[in-house]
Amino acid sequence: MNKPFNHKNFQDNHHIVPKARMKDGYNVHTTENITRINRVVHENIHHLFGIKVPHEKIEYIVKMDQKVINKKYVKQLLDILNQEDFYIDNILLKKGL
């Protein structure tokens, strides 16, 4: 008898910067932007973050959990996200994002 189909064991290509954000000036097709992850994890990432880019995901988590993080570290974490060199060079097609 065949085992039932279990999609939980499958891997998907995950675009770290979502393809939908290409219009915002991100190079979504660079090899560094694509990784293999478990399909269930992949679906959950998109349920939680939608089409947020990495700095938006981190900001979302920091702001959501800031009540339990020392205030000086909340500020430091948020300051890091605003650094001009936060992303690798070939992920941004235009500066100022």
Q: What is the pLDDT of residue 8?
A: 65
In a domain, 33, yes or no: yes
In a domain, 85, yes or no: yes
In a domain, 62, yes or no: yes
In a domain, 96, yes or no: no
Q: Is the pLDDT of residue 92 over 60?
A: yes
Q: Is the pLDDT of residue 96 over 60?
A: no
Nearest alpha-carbon partner for 16 in 65, 96, 97, 88: 88
Tens of pLDDT, residues 52-86: 999 999 999 999 999 999 999 999 999 999 998 99
In a domain, 97, yes or no: no
In a domain, 69, yes or no: yes
Name the domain count of the chain: 1
Q: Is the pLDDT of residue 27 over 70?
A: yes
Look at strands 11-15 and 34-38 and give their pairing.
antiparallel
In a domain, 67, yes or no: yes
Structural domain of residue 73, as residue ranges?
7-91
pLDDT mean across residues, the chain: 90
Q: What is the pLDDT of residue 93?
A: 83
In a domain, 26, yes or no: yes
Q: Tell me which of 51 and 7 has the higher pLDDT.
A: 51
Angle CA 42–33–35, to nearest 5: 45
Sequence-distant (≥ 6) Cβ neighbours of residue 9 within 8 angstroms: 38
